[in-house]
């Protein structure tokens, strides 16, 4: 027990940074142990984690859901790709500039969408963001002179920097970059949520009217939360573009957007660690299922390809919501709590109600 009383949602900054640094070092060291394909998968997980961490903070802190984070990733990806192609130089400076451009683009789009729907309570943000993903291919083909339609935008190949070429392979390099960028995003989100703004978000989520009465501009808090979440997704898209050296609407479908929701839900809504677990699951499970079905006859394999994974994810989503609304992470925490007797239990709990968004102590 620490001496100073802390309000829920507040977390010591130093501890956050140390934890983040620890995870980052572990992940970076891990890249040396993985083969190229695993490193590629690690890079995917990292890129997805940017988006799912943003999504889970949005859901956990404001109680709103976005079904369009894939589109926001795409915005980040396009911003990254177009900037990379426009810059006369390459290397790390170009990468950083392009990344910033991608984040900026997705934050601006997020701000606009947030102004339209995030202020409202109810399913409006979910519906609007769904409309965004559905419209993405049309956007790409309408402005095809810039966005190149279904083809998407390619960026020039950027190998491992000269100094490191002997030590690390391309996939490992990409994984390391992805891990570092993601670490920055996740740390920012954690700090954001742990600070004053995080408290405001929780206040707005739990009782918007009460929050307004205490002088919290609820609408603005929700819009900003969505903007931050969009920016995080945009980073994910930029990283994905860096890894794939291309961005195209075909990669950011409704299906992929729903997959991000799956990751966040099975990990446990509101939990960043859960989002990480969920991101691993949505990368590994389709790959595993693909391996299992690859021995089947071509027709069957073609029908199962993709669909079987989606079927499993759909069932998983329903089961998690029905059985363990706090997701994987929540279940783990609950288990740990059951086995540690010294955690004080609430004595007079009001009527048992299923609360979807976990309380701070469960995160």
Partner 1 sequence: MDRLVFLLGTGLARGAVLALFALALVLIWRGARVVNFAQGAMAVVSTYVAFEVTSLTGSYWLGLLAALLAGGLLGFAVERGVMRFASPVSPLSGVILAIGLVMVLQSALGIVFGPDYRPMRVPFDDTAIVVGGVPLLSPYDLFVLVVAVVVMAALAVLFRWTSLGLQMRAAAFAPEVSRLLGVRVSRTVTVGWVLSSVVGSLAALLLVPTSLGLNPHATDSLFVLGFTVAVVGGLDSPVGALVGGVVVGVAMSLVTGYLGAGLVPIAVLVLLVLVLLLRPAGLFAAAEARRA
Partner 2 sequence: MSALLEVRGLTVGYGGAPVLHEVDLDVPAGSIVALVGANGAGKTTLLRTLSALVPLTRGSIRLDGQDLAGVSVEDRVRRGLAHVPEGRGVVAELTVDENLRLGGLWRGPDRRAAVDEVYALFEPLARRRNHAGHQLSGGERQMLALGRALVARPTVLLLDEPSLGLAPRVVAQIMGVLRSLADRTGLTVLLAEQNVVGALSVADHGVVLGLGEVVASRPAHELAADERLRHAYLGF
Contacts with partner 1 by CB under 8 A lie at 59, 63-65, 67, 112-113, 115-117, 119-124, 126-128, 130-132, 134-135, 137-139, 141-142, 208-209, 254-255, 258, 261-262, 265, 269, 302-304, 306-311, 313-318, 321-322, 325, 353-357
**Which residue lies nearer to partner 2 by CB, 342 or 349?**
349
At 153 the three-state DSSP class reads: strand
Query: What is the spatial distance between Cα 39 and Cα 360, in angstroms, rounded to a whole number?
Result: 33
- Least distance from C-beta 337 to partner 1, angstroms? 21
Asked whether the beta carbons of 308 and 289 are under 8 A apart, the reply is yes
Near partner 2 by CB under 8 A, which window of 41-49, 112-120, 134-142, 344-352?
A: 344-352
- Least distance from C-beta 275 to partner 2, angstroms? 32
Asked whether the beta carbons of 320 and 23 are under 8 A apart, the reply is no
Near partner 2 by CB under 8 A, which window of 114-122, 127-135, 152-160, 345-353?
A: 345-353
* DSSP run (H or E) holding 246: strand 246-247
Query: What is the spatial distance between Cα 188 and Cα 203, in angstroms, rounded to a whole number?
Result: 20
If binding is defined by CB under 8 A, does position 351 make contact with partner 2?
A: yes
**Which residue lies nearer to partner 1 by CB, 134 or 216?**
134
- Least distance from C-beta 353 to partner 1, angstroms? 5
Q: How is residue 189 written in tokens?
A: 């989100």
Binding mask 298-337 for partner 2 (x = CB under 8 A): ----------------------------------------
If binding is defined by CB under 8 A, does position 354 make contact with partner 2?
A: no
Cα-based torsion angle of the residue sequence 155, 248, 286, 26 in order, rounded to the nearest 10 degrees: 40
Binding partner selected for residue 8 from partner 1, partner 2, none, CB under the kind-specific 5 to 8 Å limit: none
Q: Which of 159, 163, 297, 352 binds partner 2 (CB under 8 A)?
A: 352
Which DSSP symbol is given to 329? H
**Which residue lies nearer to partner 2 by CB, 339 or 347?**
347
Question: Is the four-CA dihedral 340, 341, 342, 346 of positive or negative sign?
Answer: positive
At 120 the three-state DSSP class reads: coil
Query: What is the spatial distance between Cα 347 and Cα 359, in angstroms, rounded to a whole number?
Result: 16
Q: How is residue 315 written in tokens?
A: 């069932």
Binding partner selected for residue 348 from partner 2, partner 1, none, CB under the kind-specific 5 to 8 Å limit: partner 2
Q: Which of 1, 339, 347, 354 binds partner 2 (CB under 8 A)?
A: 347
CB within 8 A of 349, min separation 6: which ones? none
Asked whether the beta carbons of 218 and 208 are under 8 A apart, the reply is yes
Judged by CB under 8 A, the number of residues near partner 2 is 6
């Amino acid at each position: 027990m620490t001496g100073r009383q802390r309000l829920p949602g507040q977390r010591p900054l130093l501890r956050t940074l140390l934890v983040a640094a620890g995870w980052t070092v572990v992940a970076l060291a891990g890249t040396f142990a993985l083969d190229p394909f695993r490193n590629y998968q690690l890079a995917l997980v990292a890129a997805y984690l940017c988006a799912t961490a943003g999504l889970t903070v949005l859901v956990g802190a404001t109680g709103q859901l976005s079904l369009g984070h894939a589109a926001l990733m795409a915005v980040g990806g396009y911003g990254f790709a177009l900037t990379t192609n426009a810059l006369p130089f390459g290397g790390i400076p170009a990468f950083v500039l392009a990344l910033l451009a991608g984040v900026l683009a997705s934050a601006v789009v997020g701000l606009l969408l947030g102004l339209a729907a995030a202020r409202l309570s109810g399913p409006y943000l979910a519906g609007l963001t769904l409309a965004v993903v559905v419209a993405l291919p049309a956007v790409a083909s309408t402005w095809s002179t810039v966005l190149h339609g279904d083809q998407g935008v390619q960026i020039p190949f950027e190998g491992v920097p000269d100094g490191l070429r002997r030590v690390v392979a391309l996939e490992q390099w990409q994984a390391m970059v992805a891990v570092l960028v993601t670490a920055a995003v996740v740390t920012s989100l954690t700090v954001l949520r742990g600070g004053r703004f995080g408290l405001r978000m929780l206040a707005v989520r739990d009782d918007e009217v009460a929050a307004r009465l205490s002088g919290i501009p609820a609408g603005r808090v929700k819009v900003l939360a969505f903007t931050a979440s969009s920016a995080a997704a945009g980073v994910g898209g930029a990283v994905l573009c860096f890894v794939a050296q291309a961005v195209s609407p075909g990669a950011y479908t409704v299906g992929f957007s729903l997959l991000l929701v799956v990751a966040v839900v099975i990990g446990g809504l509101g939990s960043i660690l859960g989002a990480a677990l969920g991101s691993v699951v949505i990368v590994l499970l389709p790959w595993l299922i693909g391996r299992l079905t690859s021995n089947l006859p071509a027709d069957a394999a073609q029908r199962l390809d993709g669909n079987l994974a989606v079927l499993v994810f759909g069932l998983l989503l329903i089961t998690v919501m029905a059985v363990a609304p706090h997701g994987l992470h929540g279940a783990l925490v609950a288990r740990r709590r059951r086995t540690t007797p010294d955690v004080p239990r609430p004595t007079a709990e009001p009527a048992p109600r299923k609360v979807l968004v976990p309380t701070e102590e469960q995160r």
